[in-house]
Amino acid sequence: MTRQPVVYTQELEMILGNSRVLENISMEVFPGDMVGIIGPNGAGKTTLLRLLLGLIRPTAGTVLVFGTRPEKLGKTMDEVGYMPQHPTFTDHFPLSAEDVVLMGTYTASTMGRRLPAEARQRAALSLERVGLLDRRGTPFHELSGGQRQRAFLARALCKEPRLLLLDEPNAGLDLPTQSRFFALLQELRLEKGITVLLVSHDLAVVARYASRLICINRTMHVHGSPADVLNSPQLEEAYRCEFDVLLNMKRG
């Protein structure tokens, strides 16, 4: 029996203003995959996530999530967890770690209403999964960078998603914290069967953890296993002037 891809795009094209941001992007992401979308800054990676979330519609081509156009998913969109690149919270705003995670339980029908006990139970379970249950009452601004990233991941996990979309989840984290974060993602993927699609410009880190890499810089340059992608001459073409990063990867 043929498996249906969780994410499917075919000849995807996106024009924003007068700029062609993406063109000819065709890919399939299957259940349980951990796929890294890599490429230099400004390559269109975040735009691709916005298309998958249904926040914008493609200029041309096809994009399907769970076999359906994202804007038509309705309640099924609750099965997609999203961790944005730069979540903004004012340090002086009185939010605890639990409050931030509870935001992941809100839907259009629950906005403005008192959350049920079940929502708090889901938030507690998510905090436990990421190792932050003992910090649930801690003011969010007092958490370390790594703890904040884990809290945002817990928020994305609150609705028991089948698909996680992560935008630069390792940004600003030191290497040990990055390693712990990606190990947690691997654990969730293996235990829960969650499909993970993560965007990053940090080729060195993502290549160690992803099962497949897709390299884009407006168009798709190369995709495959991390070893195949790292040894492809098309990788240097995609990164252009960032040869120092690639050379360090190959020497390592």
Domain span at 33: 7-92+162-251
In a domain, 227, yes or no: yes
Domain count, the chain: 1
Please list the pLDDT of the chain residue by residue as tens digits (252 residues).
557 899 999 999 999 988 999 999 999 999 999 999 988 888 899 999 999 999 999 999 999 999 999 999 888 888 999 988 766 665 666 889 998 898 887 755 455 566 677 888 888 988 998 889 999 999 988 888 888 888 888 898 888 899 999 998 877 777 887 888 888 888 888 888 899 999 987 787 888 889 999 999 989 888 888 888 888 888 877 776 554 444 455 445
d(CA 121, CA 138): 17
In a domain, 226, yes or no: yes
Radius of gyration of the chain (CA): 18
Nearest of 238, 235, 188, 236 to residue 209 by alpha carbon: 188
Looking at the chain, how many residues does it have? 252
In a domain, 113, yes or no: no
Q: Which helix (H) or strand (E) holds 72?
A: none
d(CA 239, CA 217): 8
